[in-house]
Amino acid sequence: MNRIKEVLKDKGISQTWLAKQTGKSYNTINEYARNVRQPSLEDLYKIAEILNVEAKELLVLIKELN
């Protein structure tokens, strides 16, 4: 699971903007944000770089799920 949706909200960034920056479709970014689909590690690092956060900030730790 990831925290892409929360990080986008915290930064005031739209999924449409992120889609344009990554070269991914809006639907793909939306699926990532809704945890319907998970980004590859390469895409996760690319998203983290674009959002200027550490990749680990985009991940949900197992202990957070309990």
pLDDT (0 to 100) of residue 13: 97
What is the token pair recorded at 58?
Answer: 């985009």
Instruction: Give the model's pLDDT for residue 60.
Output: 80
Give me the number of domains the chain comprises: 1
Give me the long-range contacts of 23-31 (CB less than 8 A, separation at least 24). 29/4
The domain of 37 spans 4-65
Query: Distance (Å, rounded) from C-alpha 66 to C-alpha 54?
Result: 23
- The tens place of each residue's pLDDT in the chain, 66 residues long, gives 899 999 999 999 999 999 999 999 999 999 999 999 999 999 999 999 999 999 999 998 666 555
